[in-house]
């Protein structure tokens, strides 16, 4: 039993997904007791991706929640987010190969546009030369 407690009491890190029970609700958020025994807070702005008027609209005392650790400050206060976890679940998984292919495609397109622009400037002698002589805004007479 002592081994179970020491394993469960391992401190959380930023990025961890944790489960806990809502112990107290305030106007600005909810305090959650984690399985490790640590206390954490979910700010009202981190409850949902949509607007939340009251914390009680989303959470209730005694409710089990799952959230992601987004911050641990110098006083070891833990901030959680349900919103970040929801965003992560709603996003389709991306493959690294797809990201690379997309970046490469954008780079090639941008490079081709720049080369075409430079070629056009080189072919048009009027576009790249500065005018000399007196003009309307030129020197004195």
pLDDT at 95: 60
pTM given for the model: 0.57
Is the domain of 81 the same as that of 104?
no
Same-domain status, 15 and 81: yes
- Count of other CB atoms within 10 angstroms of residue 84: 17
Where do runs of H (alpha helix) occur along the chain? 2-8, 82-90, 96-123, 125-128
CA 46 – CA 56 distance, rounded (Å): 14
| Structural domains counted in the chain | 2
**Residue 140 has what pLDDT?**
55
21 contacts 63 by C-beta, under 8 angstroms:
yes
Same structural domain, 23 and 82: yes
C-alpha R_g of the chain = 29
Note whether 31 and 76 are same-domain residues: yes
Note the pLDDT tens digit of each residue in 65-112: 999 999 999 998 999 999 988 877 776 655 666 677 888 888 898 999
pLDDT tens for each residue of 24-44 = 999 999 999 998 899 999 999
Quote the mean pLDDT of the chain: 81
Domain membership flag for residue 133: no
**Are 77 and 102 found together in one domain?**
no
Give the residue numbers spanning the domain of 12: 2-90
* C-alpha of 50 from chain center: 16
Residue 6 lies in a domain: yes
């Amino acid at each position: 039993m002592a081994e179970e407690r020491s394993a469960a009491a391992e401190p959380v890190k930023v990025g961890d997904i944790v489960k806990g029970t809502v112990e107290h609700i305030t106007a600005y958020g909810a305090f959650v007791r984690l399985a490790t025994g640590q206390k954490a807070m979910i700010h009202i702005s981190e409850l949902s991706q949509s607007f939340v008027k009251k914390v009680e609209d989303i959470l209730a005392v005694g409710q089990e929640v799952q959230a992601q650790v987004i911050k641990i400050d110098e006083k070891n206060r833990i901030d959680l987010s349900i919103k970040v976890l929801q965003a992560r679940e709603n996003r389709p998984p991306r493959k690294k190969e797809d990201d690379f292919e997309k970046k490469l495609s954008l780079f090639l397109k941008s490079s081709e546009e720049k080369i075409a622009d430079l070629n056009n400037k080189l072919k048009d002698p009027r576009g790249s030369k500065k005018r000399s002589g007196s003009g309307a805004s030129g020197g004195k007479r």
